[in-house]
């Protein structure tokens, strides 16, 4: 289909709209990802966090991949924050997740055709693009600085997600904002660029395309959706209730990580300033407290600054085509039909 918002990115991936739902681990996004992909965007399955049993977490990830594939027949992605080992390769924990993903694809040709994108973040280990390509997957990598985009493209990445400091969750240490970062990255590389951070509607998509991006990726906006039943309703309500200035950045093992300013965030900040860092296991536990138990004061609520402009729960199937229509109208392109 010659779509009014067809870009190098939509053509590369075989999707209708240049709209991505990004990974939001350690929370399950299997059903949300399926809804986004089914609506013509690209959904992303996220990695579960683990406080110890990595094999169980890998099985959980596989379950989510299989669940997503059952709910849609469209392409989708999996996000793995890869880190890297001291020798430069994939970190041990990430290798367990990657092996599980590859095993799931090797055992099921239909699933392999759908799960065609590996999205990496939080590190760029040697050989990761080649590994994805050898398995017949596209590889996109999330960066917060132009030099990291250049490095990833030189190593073979097929697309770059350029994410700015306003984003929810773990944000780039470089501190760059999308409005500056995305044109810098788009000028520097020749593969498709996906703008991530701060987008909530067709205005953001139109602006992103004007800045040189080929697509947008959203986290916070998609989390507050009726198609995200796996998250505790209090978490979604916290997103809807957040106003300007209600978010802040955590440091330490989190650093920097954008969260709602609440009791848990204050306690983590105090502990960090006293030199008693929160461990990564404690971090996962605090995140689960909010997302699974619904304790949005005592648990950590990751969200982006864009929450300040979000006041309703969306239905993904209606939202995605409407967002594309709004962007096409703003860009003066022919109407989007579906």
Ligand X SMILES: Cc1cc2nc3c(=O)[nH]c(=O)nc-3n(C[C@H](O)[C@H](O)[C@H](O)COP(=O)(O)O)c2cc1C
Residues 6+ apart with CB under 8 A from 182: 162, 164, 193, 195, 208, 211, 212, 213
Residues between 121 and 160 with contacts to ligand X, criterion CB under 6 A: 121, 142
50 is an interface residue for ligand X by CB under 6 A: no
**Which residue in 18, 25, 40, 41 binds ligand X (CB under 6 A)?**
25
Contact segment (CB under 6 A) with ligand X among 58-66, 184-192, 195-203, 327-335 equals: 195-203
Residue identified by tokens 């139109």 is: 206
Smallest gap from Cβ 94 to ligand X, in A, equals: 11
306 is an interface residue for ligand X by CB under 6 A: yes
Name the residue with the smallest CB distance to ligand X. 219
**Which residue in 197, 252, 256, 299 binds ligand X (CB under 6 A)?**
197
User: With CB under 6 A, what is the number of residues at the site for ligand X?
Assistant: 28
**Which residue in 7, 13, 15, 22 binds ligand X (CB under 6 A)?**
22
In the bound state with ligand X, the residue whose beta carbon lies nearer, of 46 and 50, is 46
Residues between 211 and 230 with contacts to ligand X, criterion CB under 6 A: 218-221
Smallest gap from Cβ 335 to ligand X, in A, equals: 26
98 is an interface residue for ligand X by CB under 6 A: no
**Which residue in 43, 75, 168, 172 binds ligand X (CB under 6 A)?**
168
**Which residue in 163, 228, 269, 278 binds ligand X (CB under 6 A)?**
163
Smallest gap from Cβ 3 to ligand X, in A, equals: 23
**Which residue in 167, 211, 260, 265 binds ligand X (CB under 6 A)?**
167
In the bound state with ligand X, the residue whose beta carbon lies nearer, of 107 and 233, is 233
75 is an interface residue for ligand X by CB under 6 A: no
Q: Can you say whether residue 145 is alpha, beta or left, with left for phi > 0 and alpha for psi between -120 and 50 degrees?
A: beta
d(CA 192, CA 265): 36
State both tokens at 8.
């190098």
247 is an interface residue for ligand X by CB under 6 A: no
Under a CB-based contact definition with an 8 Å cutoff, are residues 138 and 120 in contact? no
**Which residue in 41, 75, 81, 125 binds ligand X (CB under 6 A)?**
81
Chain center to CA of 23: 3
Smallest gap from Cβ 144 to ligand X, in A, equals: 10
In the bound state with ligand X, the residue whose beta carbon lies nearer, of 153 and 199, is 199
d(CA 227, CA 63): 18
Give contact residues for ligand X (rule: CB under 6 A): 22-25, 27, 46, 79, 81, 121, 142, 163, 166-170, 196-199, 218-221, 302-304, 306
């Amino acid at each position: 289909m010659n779509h009014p918002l067809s870009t190098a990115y939509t053509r590369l991936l075989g999707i209708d709209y240049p709209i991505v739902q990004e990974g939001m681990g350690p929370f399950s996004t299997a059903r949300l990802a399926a809804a986004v992909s089914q609506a013509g965007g690209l959904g992303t399955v996220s990695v579960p966090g683990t406080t110890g049993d990595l094999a169980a977490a890998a099985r959980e990830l596989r379950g989510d991949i299989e669940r997503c594939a059952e709910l849609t027949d469209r392409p989708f992605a999996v996000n793995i924050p890869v880190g890297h080992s001291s020798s430069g390769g994939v970190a041990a924990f990430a290798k367990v997740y990657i092996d599980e993903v590859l095993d799931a694809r090797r055992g099921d040709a239909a699933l392999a055709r759908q799960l065609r994108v590996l999205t990496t973040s939080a590190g760029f280990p040697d050989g990761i693009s080649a590994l994805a390509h050898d398995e017949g997957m596209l590889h996109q990598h999330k960066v917060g600085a132009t030099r990291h985009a250049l490095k990833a493209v030189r190593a073979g990445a097929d697309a770059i997600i350029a994410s700015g400091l306003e984003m929810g969750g773990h944000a780039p240490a470089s501190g760059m904002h999308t409005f500056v970062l995305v044109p810098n990255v788009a000028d520097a590389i020749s593969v498709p660029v996906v703008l991530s951070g701060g987008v909530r509607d067709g205005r953001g998509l139109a602006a992103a395309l004007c800045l040189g991006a080929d697509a947008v990726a959203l986290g916070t906006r998609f989390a507050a959706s009726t198609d995200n039943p796996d998250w505790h309703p209090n978490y979604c309500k916290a997103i809807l209730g957040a106003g300007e200035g209600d978010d802040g950045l955590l440091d330490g093992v989190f650093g920097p990580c954008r969260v709602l300013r609440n009791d848990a965030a204050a306690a983590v900040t105090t502990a960090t300033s006293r030199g008693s860092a929160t461990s990564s296991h404690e971090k996962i536990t605090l995140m689960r407290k909010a997302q699974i138990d619904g304790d949005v004061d005592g648990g950590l609520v990751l969200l982006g600054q864009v929450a300040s402009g979000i006041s309703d729960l969306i239905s993904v199937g209606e939202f995605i085509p409407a967002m594309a229509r709004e962007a096409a109208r703003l860009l003066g392109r022919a109407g989007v039909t579906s």
